[in-house]
Amino acid sequence: MYRFLFTQLLSRIDPEDAHHLTVGALRLLSTAPVVKKAVHRRLAPRDPALRVQAFGVHFPGPFGLAAGFDKDAGCVEAMSALGFGHVEVGTITAHAQPGNARPRLFRLPRERAVINRMGFNNAGAGAAARALGRTRGVPAVVGVNIGKTKVVPEAEAAADYVASAKELAPLADYLVVNVSSPNTPGLRNLQAVELLRPLLSAVKEVADGTPKRTPLLVKIAPDLADEDVDAVADLTLELGLDGIIATNTTIGREGVSSTEAGGLSGRPLKARSLAVLRRLRARVGDRLTLVSVGGVEDVDDVWERLLAGATLVQGYTGLIYHGPLWAYRIHRGLARRMRRHGVSDLREIVGRTAG
Ligand SMILES: Cc1cc2nc3c(=O)[nH]c(=O)nc-3n(C[C@H](O)[C@H](O)[C@H](O)COP(=O)(O)O)c2cc1C
């Protein structure tokens, strides 16, 4: 059904228009409590075996929606109803900004990939806080991903992140410092430990100051050299953060023919994303929560990431190619596979193939 809709309709319209159409429909779903609850009852993970606890937060299933789909936190409930075990909203910046000029989103269907150079288009932290503050009709675990406002110079980056954190940490189940998107000039320089240390320390102070102490994670790029992955992992431990999300999109173009500028996601990112996860696990063991994202398409991929040491797994590009039942199917398949392998708790398999 979705394949038909995709080939006959969605793939023929501009990718960003298709995205706005989808988000509009999902927002509509969010305003219809009866439908939303019915969808949630049908599609949200409810098998107790799928439940995960990470950094003190309870997740109904390990597979969540990666940042970038719900930039303004407008369809958290709808995505949760569709079966995502958590929804990471954003990237949100302290100030509203339009992002880069269109076109800025490109499908690569043959490669099951996407290139985007959106540039953190979003309505700003205040608007996101208002959206998140609206009453929730269905349970949802919400991660809030924050980034730097484009016009803010690097020297003032920490203050800009802190402004977003103050607004949003109290409303988040976990907070993410995004220093890895390729579409804000200079952003990825913040991954260098000497710049990252003061930035993470400042945001952590805000996250620690909320009534429930909001867990804090950092999201890294797949293009870091292995030693830099290790350095960020060491810093994350040193500062007492809760985890690392790996990875964002890549500026590499291995396995694709398109030369559009921006970040590449989907299948071509799979191998590198998995390699970064393995590297992190080898470095930190189970001392940090690792969230794996990049090229996840199906239950085999999720299983592999769990075995390699991820406690949570995320995806975005797969949603474009597999449609709205994607998360539901992944959780259903995972529960079946657990039963087949005699696994009753995901903790039994996390990190089992890690070196
Ligand atoms: C259109 C698009 C927009 C994205 N925007 C963001 C963003 O704002 N912040 C962020 O941290 N990651 C963003 N991402 C990266 C995803 O969260 C994810 O890390 C990456 O796409 C790899 O996962 P995937 O292969 O499952 O898509 C975006 C990805 C896509 C495709």
pLDDT in tens, 67-120: 999 999 999 999 999 999 999 999 999 999 999 999 999 999 999 999 999 989
Ligand 1: centre distance to CA 14 (Å): 18
Q: Taking Cα atoms as reference points, which of 347, 281, 282, 275 lies closest to residue 62?
A: 347
Give pLDDT, residue 355: 62
Q: Which atom of ligand 1 is nearest to the CA of 113?
A: 25
Assess whether the C-beta atom of 299 lies below 6 angstroms from ligand 1: no
Mean pLDDT of the chain: 93
Q: Which of 30, 80, 164, 181 is catalytic?
A: 181
Give me the pLDDT at residue 348, please.
95
How many whole angstroms from 48 Cα to the centroid of ligand 1? 29
When divided into structural domains, the chain yields a total of: 1
With bands split at pLDDT 50, 70 and 90, how would you rate the model's confidence at 335?
very high
181 labelled catalytic: yes
Domain membership of residue 171 (yes or no) is yes
% the chain with pLDDT above 70: 99
7, 19, 79: which is closest to 44 by C-alpha? 79
Question: Each residue of 161-172: pLDDT tens digit?
Answer: 999 999 999 999
Closest C-alpha residue for ligand 1 atom 14: 68
Task: Tell me the CA–centroid distance for residue 105 and ligand 1, in Å.
Answer: 11
- What pTM did the predictor assign? 0.97
Q: What is the mean pLDDT of residues 13-21?
A: 88
Task: Name the residue of 92, 187, 248 to mutate for ligand 1: max ligand atoms within 8 A of Cβ.
Answer: 248
Please give the average per-residue pLDDT across 158-182, as a whole number: 95
145 lines ligand 1 (CB under 6 A): yes
**Binding-site annotation, residues:** 67-71, 91, 116-120, 145, 178, 183, 219, 247-249, 266, 295, 316-317
Q: Where residue 46 sits, what CATH number does that domain have?
A: 3.20.20.70
**Can you read off the two tokens belonging to residue 113?**
């990939």
Q: 235-268, pLDDT tens digit by residue?
A: 999 999 999 999 999 999 998 999 999 999 999 9
Q: Which residues define the annotated binding site for FMN? A: 67-71, 91, 145, 178, 219, 247, 266, 295, 316-317
Q: Is residue 285 part of a domain?
A: yes
* 339, amino acid identity: R
Yes or no: say if 60 and 85 are a contact pair by the CB < 8 Å rule.
yes
CA distance 206 to 198: 13
Residue nearest to atom 1 of ligand 1 (CA): 116
Asked if the structure places residue 90 within a domain, the reply is yes
In this predicted structure, the answer to whether residue 8 has a pLDDT above a threshold of 80 is no
Q: What is the pLDDT of residues 37-57, one digit of tens each?
A: 989 999 999 999 999 999 999
pLDDT of residue 52: 98
Atom of ligand 1 nearest to the CA of 180: 11
Q: Distance (Å, rounded) from C-alpha 11 to C-alpha 34? A: 31
Q: Which atom of ligand 1 is nearest to the CA of 88?
A: 17
* Domain presence at residue 255: yes
Pairwise CA distance, residues 167 & 249, whole Å: 26
Q: Would 353 be classed as within a structural domain?
A: no
In a domain, 354, yes or no: no
Is there a domain that residue 223 lies in?
Answer: yes
Range of the structural domain that residue 268 is part of: 2-348
- The confidence band for 207, taking pLDDT boundaries of 50, 70 and 90, is very high
Q: Average the pLDDT over 326-343 and give the result.
A: 97
Domain for residue 144, yes or no?
A: yes
Over 80: is that where the pLDDT of 135 sits?
A: no
Task: Tell me the mean pLDDT in the region 267-287.
Answer: 97
| Residue 132 CA: distances (Å) to CA of 87, 142, 228 | 12, 9, 34
